[in-house]
Chain A
Amino acid sequence: MRAKDQQRATDLLFDAIGQIEDRFVAEAATPYVRAGKGLRLRRSLILALTLSLVLVSSLGLLIAQQVTDKEDHAVEMETGDILNDEATGTVGSLSDRLSALRAETASLRVPREELDLFSGKAQVIWKFSDESGYRVKQVSRSEQTELTRMMTRDPGRSLSTTESADPGELEGIWIALGDGTVISPCLRQAPGNTAYGTLFSYEPELEPSVAFADTLCGIIS
């Protein structure tokens, strides 16, 4: 093949590679997580297993709820009852409670570029609107399972379309499952509210339950 023809052929091939499917281009733009030794599962399989686990857990809990009493475990909060006014029955929002822990969780702040949603470890991530960094608390698998179980079992109070939760200082809170999957306790659990590889902005749909807030604050403080 003459050099000129070879160059033309190469150009054609190069141009054709430029028209590959968007999903391949997008896949290569995301960070690559190398599986550990002896555990080479495709990321899609891990995601499917995680979502299946959440679904099975929620179904099992729904069944159990019909024959057992509801008993939410409130983790004692080291911050005391500042936001739990038992006399009036009012309880501060999740945003208020996280704000109360700002000083205590200051050491958990990291810049965005240090966030790793594919670390293989579950994390609770939250951000205040007046800060540029994110607060990250790595949680154990059992803690993550407990939190997602609570989100499914008692998602909290729905916010009507005409009502918007006072976000307070909290810009967003997410739970990263470690395989790229990201959910938020302020959104209903649904495929459309599940992100992959990114912390998404959102309009809150839910005010998480008191029990969830108790557990979450107990874990991160």
Chain B
Amino acid sequence: MEDYQIVDLYWARSEYAIRETDQKYGRMLNGISYSLLASREDAEECVNDTYLTAWQRMPEDRPAFLGAYLSKIIRCLSVDRFRASHRQKRGGMGQVLEELTECIPGGESPGEAYENRELSRVINDFLEGLEEEKRRMFVRRYFYSDSIADVAERMKVSQAKVKTTLYRIRGDLKRRLEEERICL
């Protein structure tokens, strides 16, 4: 079933909306959550919470890319759960966060006022300027929290190349944030 058809089901408050969503995106959503939480039970709960959130937000929302819309919801829910449990596991989200510390711009101390929306704008502009291959690597690693091995397999390159490319992208992002005077 196409995305627009599934969204129509939500808008019509049809009982089949969740079923069709699960059939099309359940596996992907489970994968995203598991990458962050490293727990099957928690991932399943986040998937169910995602469906509930989508049901509550639609109608009102009418996403063009349903997969992306749901991915953002489950990522947010999974991150909240991760932080709530104070887990600091190696691998999964913990390792991704460690890598992102390299992107924190230098300069002013934290506590400076910032606009979350401005930060998102800069990141979107940054991604727009990346070559497709690099952008995909970045999004797979830092949005979807794929492992280096999974990114390499998906992009059909070596793990060494993924690591090198991501390292350079992080450096570029840091410089971009500094140029934009983004304080975190």
Contact of A19 among B72, B110, B142, B155 (CB under 8 A): B72
Q: Which of A10, A17, A20, A27 has the most CB of B within 10 A?
A: A17
Q: Which of B109, B136, B142, B143 has the most CB of A within 10 A?
A: B143
Binds A, one of B11-19, B46-54, B100-108: B100-108
Q: Known: A12-B184, A13-B103, A18-B143. Is A32-B156 also a contact (CB below 8 A)?
A: yes
- B96 interfacial by beta-carbon distance below 8 Å: yes
The interface residues of chain B lying within 8 Å CB-to-CB of A12 are 114, 116, 119, 184
Shortest C-beta distance, B98 to chain A (Å), equals 8
Q: Are A29 and B104 in contact (CB under 8 A)?
A: no
Shortest C-beta distance, B38 to chain A (Å), equals 16
Q: Give B105-151 interface residues, CB cut-off 8 Å to A.
A: 109-110, 114, 116, 119-120, 123-124, 127, 132-133, 135-136, 139-140, 142-144
Q: Chain B at the A interface: mostly helix, strand, loop or mixed?
A: helix
Binds B, one of A1-9, A55-63, A95-103, A135-143: A1-9
- Per the bound structure, the CA–CA distance linking A11 and B109 in Å amounts to 16
Q: Are A22 and B2 in contact (CB under 8 A)?
A: no
Contact of B132 among A5, A13, A42 (CB under 8 A): A42
Q: Are B97 and A21 in contact (CB under 8 A)?
A: no
Q: Which residue of A lies closest to B132 (CB)?
A: A42
Shortest C-beta distance, A47 to chain B (Å), equals 13
Q: Are B68 and A26 in contact (CB under 8 A)?
A: yes
- B59 interfacial by beta-carbon distance below 8 Å: no
Instruction: State which size class the interface on A falls in.
Output: 20 to 34
The interface residues of chain A lying within 8 Å CB-to-CB of B155 are 32, 34
Q: Which residue of A lies closest to B63 (CB)?
A: A22
- B87 interfacial by beta-carbon distance below 8 Å: no
Contact of A27 among B64, B123, B124, B139 (CB under 8 A): B139
Q: Which residue of B lies closest to A29 (CB)?
A: B67
Q: Are A16 and B120 in contact (CB under 8 A)?
A: yes
Contact of B97 among A14, A42, A43 (CB under 8 A): A14
The interface residues of chain A lying within 8 Å CB-to-CB of B124 are 20-21, 24
- Chain A proximity mask over B165-184: 1 for CB below 8 Å, otherwise 0: 00000000000000000001
Q: Are B139 and A24 in contact (CB under 8 A)?
A: yes
- Per the bound structure, the CA–CA distance linking A150 and B102 in Å amounts to 56
Q: Known: A8-B110, A22-B63, A34-B156. Is A27-B135 also a contact (CB below 8 A)?
A: yes
- Per the bound structure, the CA–CA distance linking A11 and B100 in Å amounts to 9
Q: Are B110 and A13 in contact (CB under 8 A)?
A: no
Q: Which residue of B lies closest to A202 (CB)?
A: B2
- Per the bound structure, the CA–CA distance linking A43 and B124 in Å amounts to 20
Q: Which residue of B lies closest to A6 (CB)?
A: B101
- Per the bound structure, the CA–CA distance linking A37 and B111 in Å amounts to 49
- Per the bound structure, the CA–CA distance linking A23 and B127 in Å amounts to 11
The 9 A-B residue pairs with the shortest CB-CB distance, nearest first, are: A25-B68, A9-B184, A22-B68, A28-B139, A26-B65, A26-B68, A16-B119, A22-B65, A5-B110
Supply 13 A–B pairs (Cβ within 8 Å), ascending by A: A1-B110, A11-B97, A13-B119, A14-B142, A17-B142, A17-B143, A21-B127, A25-B71, A26-B65, A28-B135, A31-B154, A200-B2, A201-B2
List chain A positions with a Cβ less than 8 A from chain B: 1, 5-29, 31-32, 34, 42-43, 198, 200-201
